[in-house]
Amino acid sequence: MRTLILATAAVLASATAALATPASVSVSIGPKLQTKAEETLGVREVDDLAKTLQTTVEKKLAKTSAYDGARIELVLTDATPNHPTFKQLSDKPGLSMRSFGIGGAAIEGRAVSPDGKVIPLHYSYTEPDIRWSQRGGIWTDAEDTFDQFAYELSRGKAPSEH
């Protein structure tokens, strides 16, 4: 009897998992950030940052049933590095990698549920204390923003402002 119950539970769990379709996530770069990338930050750097946002959201949502079957369409509208990017360093030879400042990011977009309901999304964060900016990588605060945003989504929330 015990084996039958465990086998039934395993079959139900796998059937439920098979029915759940994880959210699809797409990320584009907003026009102002694209211009900023071309002029100062570096296009490759910002493209990589957009991929990081997509991967972060996908991984968080894969661990939960929040937004199953939905389309998450995001636009990275702004990003500020903590340390100079490679393009900034090459454009200004006197600039040091030791230079640092507060960073962050802004995300806009929408979640489209399987039934067509559209949920607007907006999230932005800028580190308020420069003392935390000296350590870490070029995009530490932006990546922290992505983590916070993805965490809120994974809890089934629709971040609308931070």
pLDDT tens profile 54-80: 999 999 999 999 899 999 999 999 999
Give the global pTM: 0.83
Q: What percent of the chain has pLDDT over 90?
A: 64
Per-residue pLDDT tens for 131-156?
Answer: 767 678 899 999 999 999 999 999 98
Q: Tell me what pLDDT residue 1 has.
A: 53
Per-residue pLDDT band for 5 (boundaries 50, 70, 90) equals: low
Q: Is the pLDDT of residue 6 over 50?
A: no
Q: Both tokens of residue 39?
A: 């002029």
